[in-house]
Structure 1
Amino acid sequence: MMNVPSRPAPRTEVLAACAAGVTVVLWASAFVSIRSAGAAYSPGALALGRLLAGALTLGAICLLRREGLPPRPAWRGILISGLLWFGFYMVALNWGEQEVDAGTAALVVNIGPVLIALLGARLLGDATPPRLLAGMAVSFAGAVTVGLSMSGGGGSSVLGVVLCLLAAVAYAAGVVAQKPALGTASPLQVTTYGCLVGAVACLPFAGHLVREAAEAPVTATLNMVYLGVFPTALAFTTWAYALARTTASRMGATTYAVPALVVLMSWLALGEVPGPLTLVGGALCLAGVAVSRSRSGAGAAARAAASVPPAADATAGGAAGQPRADRTSGPA
């Protein structure tokens, strides 16, 4: 009899979706906080301060939960994601956003989910169903629309575009490297030690951080701490939790909700009223995410027909309550 991978319990699917939702909301809020902290801190100092705040928060949680060191097989993915995503990405993005306007930065960085889908299909064997590709296309069109509506004349530079492009590549590579690590280590372990690796990589900016913190306004420092505790410590953990229960491609597509939420938060928190083109782009981003995360009726029927009978489930030790082993992705 052919073995059919069990599906996650409905409660697990709901929790993973909620975790992904928490991630995109907090990552969207980070753009508002970066605008305040970035006015007083240089790119490297801001990245280091954010990572130190995140590492301290995560370390305290690990001590309370008595989480040990990650297993040896997970360290390769943790080191790569820590260096590329937690370290290099944050410095490059902070620097790039000082060289280009927000719209241009959004346009370039939003190729990240596309790169995740390509790398995930190539390196992890992630499936790329038509709904995922269609949803990503709609969301990317929305991100382009938002970016064009926010772009200011003459605000871009070649250096800034290159830095944002490098940030997008580092983000995609970090996500793909993180996925296998989650097969042997917990989301909290992967996030904690990835954040610590990123902080260590940014230690050369410690002198800048000390000097700038002495002169920075309290609001900028508080925003830097907020970035470390919530968009880093909490949001990266909820991201890892959700990523462990789905493919890298689908998680990457989910982040296309961030531009729409940034528009809404800037409207509410900063009084920046979006124009009609910006609103249309935000709506396209959300519509694309909805399409990419939806399941076709045929696919649902096939999964229902292939579901494991109760007797077989009992002999498997009740595995239906565990995260699903992707049919076409993940390490063996």
Structure 2
Amino acid sequence: MLLCVLCWSTSGLFIKFIGWHPMVIAGLRSGIAAVFMLLVRRGRLFTGAVPRSAPGKPARSVPGLILLLAAAFSSAGTKILYVTANKLTSPANAILLHHSAPVWAAFLGWFLIRERPEKRQWVSLVFVGTGLLLFFVNGLQGGSLAGDAIALAAGVCFGAAMVFLRMNREGSPGFCLFLSHCIPFALGLPFIITHPPVFTPASAGAILFLGIVQVGVASLLYAYSIKRLRAIDAVFIDQLEPLLNPVWIFIFSGEVPAPLSMLGGIIIIGAVLMSQKYNASSGTGYDSKLAKGTKN
């Protein structure tokens, strides 16, 4: 999951090389990722695509097809809503509200699959929120109500996607993610036609990297890890993503984050480590049976 987050974190750096319409970027990126996953996984991508029902007891029973569609559409919704939010509100507002996902994953995971967060993780949620506020305090702006609402909806979708993909762990999370890339590509086609992209060596290289590595490789790693981590654990690790974005910028441009941002980053890292400490000592949150036996 940490390697997956590392791939996700490169989006801000490479999108800077592309001056296209956001929906064109989102559509082509997802289209390339879908083709990449199909080439790498081939027929195995469709193995167990539709589970009979949500696995595990006392999890609530959910028909397999509904579970598959819920996972695919919530994941696709995250991609589309986040891109849209970045156009309507400030980037800091969009990221901060998007990373409300642990709250929604905690409640949905508890309600749907009985993966109850530990007391340590509730405390970690408070520290993550505090760290995010400090991290983005220099960039927070009024934004717009519509943009902020869409960014918050992206966070809800992301938390839900984590839970639905976890519920699909005995099926094929990879196939769910494959579908979640097909949806933005289909929705992005009209924008590709009305706002045709102008390819340059920089933009072509950037969109290929975004499609193959930033979401393609990340999706394969995500599908592997979500079968073995509780939804709340996976979404906690994702909170490291906004910290990695300025690391890439620092490496390539030498721009140093503000002191408050660095303090916020330290708090977030500490909160994530605290949330994982219980699992490391007890094994909770890691499905050892699946780890030994799964080939999906």
TM > 0.5? yes
Letter in 2 for 1:222: G
Q: Structure 1 pair 71/263, CA: closer, same or farther in 2 (3 Å)?
A: closer
Q: Which of residues 93, 115, 118 in structure 2 aligns to 1:126? A: 115
Q: State the match for 2:31 in structure 1.
A: 52
1:83, 1:231 → 2: CA distance?
A: 20
Q: Which amino acid aligns with 2:113?
A: L
Q: Are residues 81 and 34 of structure 1, via their aligned partners in 2, closer, same or farther at CA, if it must alter by over 3 Å?
A: farther
Structure 1 Cα separation of the partners of residues 257 and 288 of structure 2: 45
Distance 1:289 1:197, change over 3 A: closer
Cα distance in 2, alignment partners of residues 211 and 148 from structure 1: 37
Cα distance in 2 for residues equivalent to 1:200 and 1:139: 31
Q: CA deviation at 1:274?
A: 0.8
Residues of 1 paired with 2:224 and 2:102: CA distance?
18
Given candidates 13, 16, 21, the residue that maps to 2:2 is 21
1:236 to 196, 219, 222: 219
TM-score normalized with structure 1 length: 0.76
Q: How many Å separate the matches in 2 of 1:229 and 1:158?
A: 34
Correspondence for 1:103: 92
- Shift of residue 296 of structure 1? 7.8
Selected match of 1:182 from 169, 173, 176: 169
Tell me if the contact between 1:55 and 1:192 (Cα under 8 Å) persists in the aligned partners: no
Greater radius of gyration (CA): 1
- How much has 1:324 moved relative to structure 2? 8.6
CA distances 1:243-273 after superposition (whole Å, capped 9, x unpaired): 2112101111111111221222222223332
Aligned-pair distance for 1:194?
2.8
Q: Deviations over 1:187-221 (max 9, x none)?
A: xxx22443334424541421322454542544234
CA distance, structure 2, for counterparts of residue 36 and residue 30 of structure 1 = 10
Give the whole-Å Cα distance in 1 for the aligned partners of 2:26 and 2:40. 21
Counterpart secondary structure, 2:170: coil
Question: Hey, what's the Cα distance between the residues in 2 that align with 1:126 and 1:245?
Answer: 13
Output the amino acid matched with 2:28.
G
Structure 2 equivalent of residue 72 of structure 1 = 50
Determine what percentage of the aligned residue pairs are the same residue: 17
Question: What does residue 323 of structure 1 align with?
Answer: 291
Quick check: 2:27–2:185 contact (8 Å CA) kept in 1?
yes
Shift of residue 91, structure 1, vs aligned partner: 1.6
Distance 1:273 1:201, change over 3 A: closer
Q: What code does the residue aligned with 1:280 have?
A: L
Taking the aligned partners of 1:256 and 1:43, their CA distance within structure 2 comes to 23
Could you tell me how far apart the structure 2 residues matched to 1:320 and 1:26 are? 25
**What is aligned with 2:155?**
168
User: 1:75–1:181: 8 Å Cα contact kept in structure 2?
Assistant: no
Moved runs in structure 1, 4+ residues, more than 6 A? Answer: none
How many angstroms apart in 1 are the aligned matches of 2:184 and 2:32? Answer: 15
Q: Deviations along 1:86-106, whole A, 9 cap, x unmatched?
A: x22212111111222221112
Instruction: Please report the RMSD computed on the Cα atoms of aligned residues, expressed in angstroms.
Output: 2.7
Deviates more, 1:248-257 or 1:232-241: 232-241
Using the size of structure 2 for normalisation, the TM-score is 0.84
Question: For 1:75 and 1:174, how far apart are their aligned partners in 2?
Answer: 15
Residue type of the partner of 1:240? Answer: A
Please name the residue that 1:288 is paired with: 271
The superposition leaves residues 3-37 of structure 1 with CA deviations (integer Å, 9 ceiling, x where unpaired) of xxxxxxxxxxxxxxxxx110111111123223433
The CA distance in 2 between the partners of 1:206 and 1:251, in whole Å, is 31
**Is this contact kept in 2: 1:120–1:249, CA < 8 A?**
yes
**1:183 & 1:33 partners in 2: Cα distance?**
34
| Residue 112 (structure 1) aligned with residue 90 (structure 2) | no
Counterpart contact for 1:79–1:194, Cα < 8 Å? no
Who is 1:249 aligned against? Answer: 232
1:34 aligns with 2:2: no
Residues 98 and 155 in structure 2, CA contact (< 8 A), matched pair in contact too: yes
1:37-93 CA deviation, whole Å, 9 max, x = no partner?
A: 3xx222322221111110000000122x755443432543332222221x2221211
User: Cα gap change, 1:212/1:220 in structure 2, threshold over 3 Å: closer, same or farther?
Assistant: farther
In the alignment, residue 124 of structure 1 is paired with which amino acid?
I
Mapped contact 2:8–2:241 kept (Cα < 8 A): yes
Contact 1:78 1:194 (8 Å CA) reproduced? no
What does residue 59 of structure 2 align with?
none
For structure 2, list consecutive stretches of 5 or more residues without a partner in the other structure.
Answer: 52-63
> CA contact under 8 A between 1:142 and 1:280: conserved in structure 2?
yes
Structure 1: distance between partners of 2:15 and 2:144: 20
Q: Is 1:50–1:225's contact at 8 Å kept on the other side of the alignment? A: yes
